[in-house]
Structure 1
Amino acid sequence: MDRVDAFGDDALGDLDAVGAVEALRGGSVSATELVDAAIARAEAVNPALNGLAYEAFERARARARQATPYGGYFDGVPSFIKDNVAVAGMPTREGADAWEARPAPADGDFARAYLATGLVPLGKTQLSEFGFSASAEHPRLGPVRNPWNVEHTAGASSSGSGAFVAAGVVPIAHANDGGGSIRIPAACNGLVGLKPSRGRLPLDKNVRQMPLRIVHNGVLTRSVRDTAAFYREMERIVAGPKLPPVGDVTGPGAERLHVAVCTRSIARDSAPEIVELTLKTATLLEELGHRVSVIDNPIPARFIDDFLLYWSFLAFALVRGGQRMFGETFDRSRLDNLTLGLERHAARNLVRLPTALARLARTRRITSRLHGTYDVLLTPTLADVTPRIGHLDPTADYQQVIDRLIEWVAFTPLQNVTGEPAISLPLAHSASGLPVGMMFSAPLGHDARLLALAYELEQARPWRTISD
């Protein structure tokens, strides 16, 4: 197995983000040393992983030399931002090369809050074109590879961030999720990935204007405490939404939960190995004193067609409005087959879109009834093991790619539609040694419940990192 491991005997060592904060405050390392270590690691592994979309190394060094300009909790901790949000002075390429991207004149709403935590961005990470595919395999920009085995995908549109955190380049990186792209790279790369409740974190204007706000910002980390600390700090920065606060979650909760377990997605049965690993996780929950019930999937099959139509409509808006959004250099002929196929699917079915949107909006009625009985829902994050590079090749026939996407990304889109929180935890490994994620979801606003459960599971079954 061809692993890529950036961990070493430098200022970062094997520190997570909270550990780096403690080292900074204790005086054993400086922000400059942490940033220099992360840059050296990025330079060492990026040729193999291809996770870097835009380099801002000198800017990061200059930022590290400053005297806490933000005063945020993570001040001085190196990180990356995914290349689909606006950061002042950096271009936004959206995982495409179909136009000449120019530096953004100002931070978007999300970057403004993210940077206020004190995190130091080394640049931007690569994604699939516009985030439409669950594997970043651009025909000209190249694939983003999984550090556990470079023959496999790093998963979804936050794949660059996932690959860099798992490989040890940085302890924490931005990710966002419109159909699973926080949770999928968490599952593929052995990370913690919480898609928060809708409204928990700010969105840039372009995604706030969507008819149905399926996109959620977040982070990828190697530890539950890093994810919990990030949401605690963002809650101190961002004006409070109409949601129960996350607060400062620092360990397992005392409450014993009623957990529903479902291994069948809307589209298909999970692969036998995935079913077995999910049921082993259910057994662990029972051993910890939680009540577990196995259920059938309550979501109607039409959800797949409705979500695909809305997903396609987003591609339609981007392709048809490309010159207006990205400038006169926009060239649709440089887009991949998946994006163009989605655009065609939407064009043929636009008359059905209002009905599809109305049905999607009603999906939360089903999950609300489910959560009236169960505190948490456990499913696999993905219906099968992480595929090899090429399985989701965006230059292949559109129907082949979309069929394979629907089969693999079978569980995660539900919470994008309902807005409910869901977290992927690296609680299992496949027979081939690749990480396998287990996904837990909860009612809207109950992000803290998921973090407390994640702490408990992390303590009960500590997960491996690449360096182990």
Structure 2
Amino acid sequence: MPDAPAPKTCSAFRNDALGHDDATALARRLREKEVSVAEVTQAAIDRANVAQPLLQGVAAEDYERAMAEARALDNHDRPASWPYFRGVPTFIKDNTNVAGQTTQHGSLAVPAARATDTSPFARQLLAQGFVCLGKSTLPEFGFNATTEPAHAPATRNPWNLGYSAGASSGGSAALVAAGVVPVAHANDGGGSIRIPAACCGLVGLKPTRARLLDNEAAASLPLNIIGEGIVSRSVRDTANFLEQAELFHRNTRLAAVGHMEGPSDRKLRIGLVLDSINGHRTDDITRRTVEKTAHTLEKLGHRVEPIPVPVHRSFPEDFALYWALLAFGVRVNGKKLLHPEFDRQQTDGLTNGLDALFRRQFWRLPAALWRLKQSHRDYSQAMKGYDAVLTPVLGHTTPELGHLSPDVPFDTLFERLRRYVSFTPLANATGAPAIALPMGRTPENLPVAVQFMGQHSGERTLLDIAFALEAEAPWPLLHSANVTGKAGQPVTDPA
């Protein structure tokens, strides 16, 4: 008999304790004891085991400890103060410490040593009641826009396994989109929440700078560009996550996000940007998706109008140099920052190329850093009179695996990344909130997303828009009426 065709998609959804629920619905069923934490945790582990050979989204598993935690939760009487997401399974990205689990930052240069403590943001996330099943994959140190580590299998997009899942939170996005868990941790230094959310058809919100607790790496940066958060399949999961995170820690300098259940009747003035300032035109499919979203917003009563890119024209070069600075810092200070046995001889081609780029251009850093810090003020000025700005997430649709591999010669790879990651870094430098929403589809069955950037502390406005678009034009998910599958087998569509 001829060999069966290779699978094209990967969906782990099935009729088990997890079902098709998002985290909010699953948390309700857990509270009402329709299912036990152990049943839900075991279902997520089973889904992970069958999806992992196709997706490669799990960096390190901790299933035995997770099941022990689940059984312990089931053995306790129901207290009045149960955390909102008590018992909901998740994964934490492999650049964030969880006590007892390894942290390797997606790199062969970092030994697989178990952490002795839990990072501040991981504590803020786990305090909501999530059960951590292990670590999700990322490219080396989160520098790339695809999760294709040079030393390990690529993380594949569950919508089409021949394509990238995005990065740097690619493992989390692949696992959530495929239905292994309803939400997963993500963080974002240049688009690393929004890019994989865009590639995998998810909601990805990067909060305002300092909205949530920072992990250790952010404190050492001359300009903190890193935001923490999650990727989810529903807007309400992201909204409820932020509300619960503020109960653990709230930055009182920012307006509270608070409770949100759906869109308001408020009419907004929204700017529109179709092409980035790096000189590259957005591809046609992405452009049409953004324009269609603008028309939907106008139909809902909002005002949408083109505006100039709200930042200095030197921004692409300045941010690229800062990106290179981070690679230089890792290679020079890895033993101090990451692990005493850090081996910089094991870093990949992208990290090495960025390091070399910084060494050639380091003299530009003072002026570039000054302009990047000024971008907060420039952006605030440009946003006066606007509630949000609508842009693409990426310069073109999701690439095939290999296009952005760290094995591609550096000059070619660097130019490809500059064309691809041309919209997301602005929110990181300015500290503004930004959200990615899946609003289109390619002929290859891949999601196409749009981005909304808000005023500082404007998460409620972004969620308001997201709720409205989700209700008006619901995005597809990988599960469907015929996704039943045999127990222990991932459901796939043949190529």
TM-score, normalisation: structure 1: 0.98
Q: Report if aligned partners of 1:264, 1:296 keep a CA contact under 8 Å in 2.
A: no
Q: What are the superposed Cα offsets for residues 370-392 of structure 1, whole Å, 9 maximum, x if unpaired? A: 21021110001111110000000
* 1:283 equivalent in structure 2: 295
Correspondence 1:188 to 2:199: yes
2:383 is paired with a residue whose SS is helix
**1:371-386 matches, cutoff 5 A:** 371-386=383-398
- Find the aligned partners of 2:252 and 2:363 in 1 and give their Cα distance: 34
- Find the aligned partners of 1:382 and 1:348 in 2 and give their Cα distance: 28
Letter in 2 for 1:351: W
Of 54, 61, 66, 1:60 maps to 66
Of 358, 367, 392, 1:355 maps to 367
Of 6, 10, 24, 1:18 maps to 24
* 1:412 equivalent in structure 2: 424
1:114 is paired with a residue whose SS is helix
- Find the aligned partners of 1:328 and 1:257 in 2 and give their Cα distance: 52
- Note the C-alpha offset of 1:333: 2.0
Correspondence 1:292 to 2:298: no
Correspondence 1:311 to 2:323: yes
Letter in 1 for 2:221: M
- Find the aligned partners of 1:322 and 1:252 in 2 and give their Cα distance: 45
* 1:158 equivalent in structure 2: 169
Using CA pairs under 8 Å that are at least 6 residues apart, name the structure with larger relative contact order, 1 or 2. Answer: 2
Q: What are the superposed Cα offsets for residues 426-449 of structure 1, whole Å, 9 maximum, x if unpaired? A: 111123221011101110001011
TM-score, normalisation: structure 2: 0.93
- Note the C-alpha offset of 1:328: 4.4
* 1:131 equivalent in structure 2: 142
The gaps in structure 2 that reach 5 residues or longer are: 1-6, 481-495
- Find the aligned partners of 2:8 and 2:115 in 1 and give their Cα distance: 37
Letter in 2 for 1:311: W
* 2:266 equivalent in structure 1: 255
Correspondence 1:455 to 2:436: no
| Amino-acid identity (%) | 45
* 1:320 equivalent in structure 2: 332
Q: Report if aligned partners of 1:264, 1:270 keep a CA contact under 8 Å in 2.
A: yes
* 2:117 equivalent in structure 1: 106
- Find the aligned partners of 2:29 and 2:391 in 1 and give their Cα distance: 37
- Find the aligned partners of 1:181 and 1:461 in 2 and give their Cα distance: 25
- Find the aligned partners of 1:429 and 1:304 in 2 and give their Cα distance: 28
Of 47, 50, 54, 1:44 maps to 50
Correspondence 1:388 to 2:394: no
- Find the aligned partners of 1:408 and 1:25 in 2 and give their Cα distance: 43
Letter in 2 for 1:38: A
Q: Report if aligned partners of 1:259, 1:375 keep a CA contact under 8 Å in 2.
A: yes
- Note the C-alpha offset of 1:73: 0.8
Q: Report if aligned partners of 1:200, 1:241 keep a CA contact under 8 Å in 2.
A: no
Q: Report if aligned partners of 1:266, 1:300 keep a CA contact under 8 Å in 2.
A: no
* 2:98 equivalent in structure 1: 87
Of 421, 444, 450, 1:438 maps to 450
Q: What are the superposed Cα offsets for residues 161-191 of structure 1, whole Å, 9 maximum, x if unpaired? A: 0000000000010000000010001100000
Q: CA RMSD in A?
A: 1.3
Q: What are the superposed Cα offsets for residues 293-348 of structure 1, whole Å, 9 maximum, x if unpaired? A: 02232433311111011111111111011223344432222111100011111112
Q: What are the superposed Cα offsets for residues 36-85 of structure 1, whole Å, 9 maximum, x if unpaired? A: 00000000001111111110001110111123788311010000000011
- Note the C-alpha offset of 1:241: 3.7
Q: What are the superposed Cα offsets for residues 106-148 of structure 1, whole Å, 9 maximum, x if unpaired? A: 1111111111000001000000100000001112212110000
Letter in 2 for 1:389: L
Q: Report if aligned partners of 1:199, 1:241 keep a CA contact under 8 Å in 2.
A: no
Q: What are the superposed Cα offsets for residues 210-263 of structure 1, whole Å, 9 maximum, x if unpaired? A: 110000000000000000000000000114341000000111011100111110
- Find the aligned partners of 1:441 and 1:301 in 2 and give their Cα distance: 18
Which deviates more from structure 2 when the two are superposed, residues 364-373 or residues 455-464? Answer: 364-373
- Note the C-alpha offset of 1:274: 1.2
- Find the aligned partners of 2:354 and 2:153 in 1 and give their Cα distance: 21
Q: Report if aligned partners of 2:210, 2:251 keep a CA contact under 8 Å in 1.
A: no
Letter in 2 for 1:256: K
- Find the aligned partners of 2:445 and 2:110 in 1 and give their Cα distance: 39
Q: Report if aligned partners of 1:101, 1:326 keep a CA contact under 8 Å in 2.
A: no
- Find the aligned partners of 1:130 and 1:100 in 2 and give their Cα distance: 13
Which deviates more from structure 2 when the two are superposed, residues 323-332 or residues 244-253? Answer: 323-332
Of 332, 339, 342, 2:344 maps to 332
* 1:34 equivalent in structure 2: 40
